[in-house]
Amino acid sequence: MGKTALELLIFDLDGTLIESKWDIAASVNLALEELGVPQRPVEEIFGFVGDGVKKLLRLAVGEHNRVSFEDALSVFRRHYLAHCLDRTVFYPGVEKTLGHFSDKRKAVATNKSIEYTNVILRGLGPQYFEVVVGGDNGFGLKPEPGMLLHIMERLNVSKDRTVLVGDSTNDINGGHNAGIRVCAVGYGMGNREKMAACQPDWFIERPEELMEIFE
C-alpha cells in the first residue's frame, strides 16, 4: 500500500507529543493541598486530562468543596508553571519523527492553555512547529473544529493535504468535524475502545509509524 501524500501535520500535545501527566497530576495535588481539599490518586487525575484546565480543576476540586474556581485556577497555575517541565518530555520517537518530516508543515492544536503550552514547547522544542494554538486562543476546544480550521487557513493548506494526530476522542471527532483525516495514537492517555469507536483513519502504537503512513 502506498504512502499518503501530505502537506500539514497537526498534533495534539498532551498524550500525543509529550508525556505530561505526572507533572499535571503533581501540580493538581499541590493545588488541592493548598486549597484544603483532599488530594486525589494520580491515576484518577490522569482520567481528568484532555478537556482543558477548567474541566480538569472542576473535576479535581469536586462539586462539594466551597473553593472558587478562580482560586483553584490561580493556585494550580502557580504550581504548574513551576513544575510543568519537571518530568515532562517528548515521547520516545517523537523528535525522530518530527525531524523526519522536516519538509512538512507542522502545528500544534491543544485544549491546554497557551501559556503552559508555550512554556513547555520552549523547553522541549519550539523549532518544530509553525503555528501553536491553545484552548484559550478563542477558537473553541476540540472536538469543536475551530482551532484546526484556523491553522489550515493561516497556513493556507487544504483539508485533503492535512492530518490530525491525537490521543483522544476529542481529537478524532474534532478532526472529522473539521473535515480532515485523523491518526489516533494508542500510547497516550485516551481510552482505546472509545477512540476506536470514533473511527480514526489510522491507529498507531508508536510515533515512528507516522513515517510509514505518510510520504
C-alpha cell at 205: 502504537
Compute the distance between CA of residue 90 and CA of residue 20 in angstroms, rounded to an integer. Answer: 9
12 noted as active-site residue: yes
Q: How far apart are CA 60 and CA 78, in angstroms?
A: 16
Return the bridge partners of 156, or none: none
Please give the Cα distance from 120 to 116 (Å, whole number). 6
Active-site entry in 12, 23, 167, 171: 12
- 12, 75, 129, 146, 165 from 174: Cα distances, Å: 11, 30, 20, 9, 11
- In sequence order, what are the beta bridge partners of 163? 9, 181
Cα distance between the two ends of the chain: 12
| Helical segments of the chain, H only | 21-35, 42-46, 53-61, 69-83, 94-100, 114-124, 146-155, 169-177, 192-197, 209-213
Catalytic positions, written as ranges? 12
